[in-house]
Amino acid sequence: MSNITKTMKPTRRAFLKATAATPLVAVGGAQAVAQGGPDPAITELQDWASYLGVGVDETPYGLPIKFETDVVRRNVAWLTASPISSINFTPIHALEGTITPQGCAFERHHSGAIELSKDDYRLMINGLVDRPLVFSYADLERLPRENHVYFCECAANTGMEWAGAQLNGAQFTHGMIHNMEYTGVPLRTLLAEAGLDAAGDLADKWVYVEGADASSNGRSIPMEKALDDVLVAFKANGEALRMEHGYPVRLVVPGWEGNMWIKWIRRIEVTDAATESREETSKYTDVHENGVARKWTWVMDAKSVITSPSPQMPITHGPGPLVVSGLAWSGHGKITRVDVSIDGGVTWETARLGKQGDTKALTRFYLDMNWDGSPMLMQARAMDDTGYVQPTKDQLREMRGENSVYHNNCIQTWFVNEEGVAENVEVS
């Protein structure tokens, strides 16, 4: 625990007691109305209470209220040559809990999102199987299904930060991630329907999966993973997949890089070796300092980020009670602990988990503190149930250098000044 935190923490109860005894004074130091006087927002009839509201069919799909129109996905124009093959970012700074609404969940396309109806949908299983099969959408719905909450993270999330602090906002540094409840059929169920006796020893077998879009975006997956927790999903958060998320059917590969979560999945081929596709040779490999690239780095290691305060979520209420909020996740399993530092990693305090995280899913963490208005260097450090501890950027650079792209799970630093404004900085 830092010296700053030690001096501030005991004052929280006294602060709340004082504010309770003095009504109508805004918590956190915001400008107060005349002490002891009436608050017009309470004592006077407001416009919205003097007329009838809209009917139940005004917004058929339940769009957000106009005051929340800034909570949207955003892209970075210079990131790619065209938005057709590009990515946008989840507004993680503006969300709470762990579940990402589909309409806010980041998208990554390699040739643009396609319109594919349920009636036209087909999924083929071929290769080293006993019975090559073709499933319609209706066929999939008749099979036993499961529900699981998983995060999906692009391998390039935080990738622009290798050489130094660059993008100013949690949405842009860490927003290539979403966390949704998926409904689908385990891939092992479909493979069992096709039969795997023809494949022989499964220890060295793979599946090659590809999508129905123009890019196909094919990826190889070891059979061990395919028979474990991979889902062929057709729902997210209780509703049909959105077009940009692979409607009507996508692959869910828990804990592994998002590039393997094939959208509009059309074919699963059982093979005796990895296919060595474009997306697993020239792309989605990790370059080391010596120029040698390693492949098959599927798992997304433990990672965390403070979402508030952050560059898009400054402290606006001044000194006083402050709830530090953030997200942590690990492709290896469950998050067991998150530590927060306000002095750039010199001292740490263990945060409170919103709830025990599900395996391979986002976990929300909080640190309840009193801010005295001093500048802060804010960091979060995640640990998972394998004992893995989130590294610093320098620790990653010792192996990977600065000329890399993927799997940057370093500790992030926000500098918060006396006015509560946050900025992306580097403390290695």
Please report, as a single letter, which amino acid is at residue 378.
M
Would you state the pLDDT for residue 17? 44
Residue 350 in contact with residue 338, Cβ under 8 Å? yes
The C-alpha atoms of residue 204 and residue 224 are separated, in whole angstroms, by 9
Q: Enter the tokens of residue 30.
A: 């915001």
How many residues belong to the chain? 428
Instruction: Give the C-alpha separation, 97 to 192, whole Å.
Output: 37
What domains can you pick out in the chain, each with its CATH number?
1-48+300-428 (2.60.40.650), 76-284 (3.90.420.10)
Place of tokens 């474990």: 228
Distance between CA atoms of residues 246 and 228, nearest Å: 22
Torsion sign (Cα): 337, 4, 161, 308: positive
**Could you give the CA distance from residue 276 to residue 285 in angstroms, rounded to a whole number?**
12
Cα gap 40→377, rounded to integer Å: 39
The pLDDT of residue 261? 98
Residue 414 backbone dihedrals phi, psi, to 5 degrees = -110, 130
Name residues whose C-beta falls within 8 Å of residue 343's C-beta, 6 or more positions apart in sequence: 2, 4, 376, 377
Rg (CA), the chain: 24
What integer pLDDT is reported at residue 19 of this predicted model? 42
Mean pLDDT by groups of 10 residues along the chain of 428 residues: 40 42 41 67 91 89 91 92 92 97 95 96 98 98 98 96 93 98 98 98 97 95 98 98 97 98 98 94 88 91 98 97 98 97 98 90 98 98 97 92 92 98 94
Distances (CA, A) of 417 to 46, 218, 411: 37, 46, 19
Question: What local confidence, expressed as pLDDT, does residue 30 receive?
Answer: 44
Buried b (16+ CB within 10 A) or exposed e, 220-247: bbbbebbbebbbbbbbbbeeebeebbbb
What pLDDT does residue 428 have?
76
Helix (H, G, I), strand (E, B) or coil at 149: strand
Phi and psi at residue 190, in whole multiples of 5°? Answer: -65, -40
Q: Would you give the DSSP letter of residue 32?
A: P
Question: Are 420 and 314 spatial neighbours (Cβ–Cβ below 8 Å)?
Answer: yes
End-to-end C-alpha distance for the chain, whole angstroms: 20
Check residue 361 and report its DSSP letter: S
What's the pLDDT at 59? 87
| Cα–Cα distance for residue pair 292/400, rounded to 1 Å | 10
